[in-house]
Chain A
Amino acid sequence: MNVSRNQRVDLEVVANLIPPQSRVLDVGSGDGSLLELLQDTKQVDGRGLELSQRGVNECVARGLSVIQGDADKDLEFYPDKGFDFVVLSQTLQATRNPKLVLDELLRIGNRAIVSFPNFGHWRVRMSLFLNGRMPVTTDLPYSWYDTPNIHFCTIRDFVNLCDELGATVEKATALDANGQKIGLSMPWWFWNFFGQQAVFLLTR
Chain B
Amino acid sequence: MAALRVRKPNNEADQPSSPVLRFGPDKPLKLDAGTLLSPFQIAYQTYGTLNDARSNAILVCHALTGDQHVASTNPVTGKPGWWEVLIGPGKIIDTNRFFVICSNVIGGCLGSTGPASTNPATGKPYGLDLPIITIRDMVRAQQMLIDHFGIEKLFCVLGGSMGGMQVLEWASSYPERVFSALPIATGARHSSQNIAFHEVGRQAVMADPDWHGGKYFEHGGRPEKGLAVARMAAHITYLSEAALHRKFGRNLQDREALTFGFDADFQIESYLRHQGMTFVDRFDANSYLYMTRSMDYFDLAADHGGRLADAFAGTKTRFCLVSFTSDWLFPTEESRSIVHALNAAGASVSFVEIETDRGHDAFLLDEPELFAAINGFIGSAARARGLST
Contacts and interface: CB of A to CB of B under 8 A. Distances in A.
Contacts of A66: 350-351
Nearest to A75: B343
A37 to B, nearest CB: 15
Contact of A65 (B340, B350, B353, B372): B350
A82 B346 contact: yes
Given A63-B376, A63-B380, A56 B343 contact: no
A78 B320 CA distance: 17
Contact of B379 (A63, A68, A69): A63
A61 B373 contact: yes
B339 interface: yes
A99 interface: no
A43 to B, nearest CB: 11
A19 B348 CA distance: 19
A53 B348 contact: no
Interface string B316-351: 001010000000000000000001110111101111
Interface string A37-67: 0000000010100000100110111111111
A77 B349 CA distance: 13
Interface in A152-181: none
Given A45-B348, A67-B349, A62 B339 contact: no
B346 A79 contact: yes
A60 B377 contact: yes
B376 A62 contact: yes
A74 interface: yes
Contacts of B383: 63
B354 interface: yes
A80 B320 CA distance: 23
Interface residue SS majority, chain A:
mixed
Nearest to A46: B348
B147 interface: no
A60 B352 contact: yes
A19 B377 CA distance: 25
Given A57-B373, A61-B376, A74-B340, A67 B355 contact: no
A67 B348 CA distance: 10
A104 B343 CA distance: 14
B366 interface: no
Contacts of B320: 60
Contact of B318 (A65, A74, A78): A65
Contacts of A53: 353, 355
A79 B344 contact: yes
B15 interface: no
Contacts of B375: 61
Given A53-B355, A65-B318, A60 B340 contact: no
A66 to B, nearest CB: 6
B369 interface: yes
A62 B379 CA distance: 9
Contacts of A47: 348-349
Given A47-B348, A57-B354, A68-B351, A63 B343 contact: no
Nearest to B372: A61
B354 A65 contact: no
Contacts of B339: 67, 69
A56 B352 contact: yes
Contact of A60 (B341, B343, B350, B355): B350
B344 A77 contact: yes
B348 A65 contact: yes
A28 to B, nearest CB: 16
Contacts of B377: 60, 63
10 smallest A-B Cβ distances: which pairs? A63-B380, A67-B351, A61-B372, A61-B376, A77-B340, A77-B343, A63-B376, A60-B350, A60-B373, A82-B346
Given A53-B353, A57-B369, A61-B373, 6 more contacts: A60-B373, A61-B369, A67-B343, A67-B350, A68-B351, A77-B340
13 contacts: A53-B353, A56-B352, A57-B369, A60-B372, A60-B377, A62-B376, A63-B383, A65-B349, A67-B339, A77-B341, A79-B343, A79-B344, A79-B345
